[in-house]
Amino acid sequence: MCQRADDEAGDAEKATHASPATTTRLATQGCHGPRRSSAADNARLAGFRSDAKRKMSLAWVRRLLVVASPLVGFVLVVGVCLLASYRGEGAGGWRNRGMLLRERQWDGGARAVRAAGNSTLGFGSIRYINLRSRYDRLDAASIQAFLTGLRLTESRAVEPDMIRDVGMPPMHNPGYLKPGQKGCWRAHANVSAVLAVPIWASMLRGNAAPVLVIESDTTWDLHVRSIMSEVNRHFTKLLRDIESTALPQPAWGAPSERSPCRPTREDPWCSGHWDILSIGQCMEGGKDRDVSVFYHDPHVPPGKDYWGRTLGRERVVRRSGGFACTTAYAISQTGAAKMLLRSAVDLNAPVDLLMRELVTSGDLVAYSVMPPVVAQWRYADNIGMGLRGANSDINQDKKEEEDEGSGWAAVKESGSVWGTWPQDVDVAFEEMALERAWDLIFPGNDSLSVLYDGK
């Protein structure tokens, strides 16, 4: 009977493919109830368990290979490329590669430097302020933008006849400012009603990127984009050298972190670290002149003086000591807030002198470039433009005494009616765009004499 039970247990195992536990239970059921497992039963159970573990391990290995094989292939490809690079450059090549990486990190990153040389010079926009009646200045700016690849957005300047006393802010000396100076202030602070673009006031009504503001009588070098890339490279270096941190942001919801300068393609100028960056001042103060970086610039003629040091082909990025003239300056949102508030409380001076006051007092964090990248142009002497008052929209009562018409001989030879102001001693252009325009647009014609039949 007992033997038959054992045989039945074996048959049950074969017929039902029972689990090891079930088979063991059947095998241990004797004629008189449960009986103790034999050594053979234990060996059989261990074999079943070993087979199950082996099958599970093989399944996990197959899954791991499926997941890891692409990664292994990628690592092998990268390894082969690095090995080929190492063989081509040697150990020195690896050191140079590491130095290049550190240099790019130090310079703020190649993308940020390139962005500073784009069509808006790395700013949100270039705002060009011009009077409605100054078609000549609009033409000059358009020619330069065409030759140098800049994208200018015109902002209509405020005409003197648009100014009403009722709309002016308080001023403790109301007779000090001339109508043209009031219009100049409002042009910088205003928003063009036609274009609805941000300058000062509207920068505070939205999260505006820093804006480069240029006045209508501005000129620059043909290579302005590469020049500004180098300015950016060394400006951000200066910010790191002095361990600059981001300025407090009074705007609602603005981050309060005082982070170091980390230039990006979207913000290559670290605009949270400054209020004003002047690239077109006509005069600078001596304060903080040693907070600066000197660097080589092939587009600067040598010989300019920097507080007793004669510059070669060099440019200087510095902490401003208080500048005059608003020919070309970048302004951040905090700078716009400070300038708008200061002029709203007491408009007691021209806009550039208000800036100078705030810079020298330390209330406006400003930097500048010397020689300036942008300068004011004026018409050549003795061609009649001085008698019209065409060289100034603010001081139109100051007209030049000149011999009418005697300057046209020089114009015929040069092809240019433009030049820079002689009193702006810091201006240094290797290739002023307006002076080169004739040669570039009319190649092969060395002078204007062809238009005058030699007369």
The per-residue pLDDT for range 25-35, each reduced to its tens digit, is: 444 444 444 45
Residue range 116-143: mean pLDDT, rounded: 94
Among candidates 308, 315, 159, 301, which has minimal Cα distance to 233? 315
Sign of CA dihedral 301, 211, 338, 377: positive
If DSSP codes are grouped into helix, strand and coil, which group holds residue 392? coil
pLDDT score of 338 more than 60: yes
15 has a pLDDT exceeding 70: no
pLDDT at 6 (0 to 100): 47
Question: For tokens 């964090």, what's the residue?
Answer: 365
Which range has the top average pLDDT, 26-35, 234-243, 412-421?
234-243
Instruction: Tell me how far CA of residue 296 lies from CA of 109, 130, 293, 300, 367, in angstroms.
Output: 19, 34, 10, 9, 19
Burial of 112 (0-12, 13-18, 19+ CB in 10 A): buried
Report the range of poorest mean pLDDT among 148-162, 294-308, 386-400: 386-400
Among candidates 188, 119, 233, 429, which has minimal Cα distance to 328?
Answer: 188
CA dihedral 26, 28, 31, 36 (to 10 degrees): -170
Sign of the alpha-carbon torsion through 132, 134, 139, 140: negative
Residue 323 reports pLDDT greater than 70: yes
Give the model's pLDDT for residue 348: 80
pLDDT, position 450: 59
Which letter, b or e, does each residue of 243-273 get, where b requires 16 or more Cβ atoms within 10 Å of its Cβ?
A: ebebbebeeeeeeeeeeebbbeeebbbbbbb
Question: What's the confidence (pLDDT) of residue 307?
Answer: 96
**Most confident of the following: 161-170, 185-194, 225-234:** 225-234
Task: Please state whether 254 falls in left (phi above 0), alpha (psi between -120 and 50) or beta.
Answer: beta
Count of beta carbons in the 10 Å neighbourhood of residue 81:
10
- Distance CA(20)–CA(112), nearest Å, equals 69
DSSP 8-class letter at 347: -
Q: Are 300 and 315 in contact (CB under 8 A)?
A: yes
The string of pLDDT tens digits covering residues 422-439 is: 999 999 999 999 999 999
Domain boundaries, the chain: 107-166+179-247+262-375, 378-451
Map residue 419 onto helix, strand or coil: strand
> What digits encode the pLDDT tens for the residues 60-107?
767 766 666 677 667 776 676 666 554 544 444 444 444 444 444 544
Average pLDDT, the chain: 78
> pLDDT band at 36, cuts 50/70/90?
low
Q: Is the pLDDT of residue 10 over 60?
A: no
Question: Residue 416: is its pLDDT beyond 70?
Answer: yes
CA distance 308 to 311: 9
Of the segments 163-177, 246-260, 279-293, which one has the largest average pLDDT value? 279-293
Per residue in 395-408, pLDDT (tens digit) is 554 555 556 678 89
Beta strand pairing call for 366-370 and 328-331: unpaired
* CA torsion, ordered 107, 329, 373, 143, to nearest 10 deg: 120
Tell me 176's DSSP state: S
> Where is pLDDT greater, at 357 or 56?
357
CA distance 7 to 1: 10
Q: Where are the alpha helices (H) located in 107-244, listed in sequence order?
A: 110-115, 135-148, 179-189, 224-241
**Helical (H) or strand (E) element with 128:** strand 125-130
pLDDT higher than 70, residue 374? yes
Taking only Cα atoms into account, the Rg of the chain, rounded to an integer number of angstroms, comes to 38
- 395 near 185, Cβ under 8 Å? no
For residues 289 and 2, which has the higher predicted lDDT (pLDDT)? 289
Which pLDDT value is given to residue 115?
97
- Predicted confidence at residue 369, as pLDDT, reads 99
Whether pLDDT at 288 is above 50: yes
C-alpha distances out from residue 295 to 148, 150, 292, Å: 23, 24, 10
Q: Which residue in 285, 284, 276 sits closest to 355, CA to CA?
A: 276
Upstream peptide bond of 371 is cis (omega within 30 degrees of 0) = yes
Per-residue pLDDT, 347: 79
Q: Is the pLDDT of residue 41 over 80?
A: no
Beta carbons of 246 and 259 less than 8 angstroms apart: yes
- Asked whether residue 445 carries a pLDDT value surpassing 80, the answer given is no
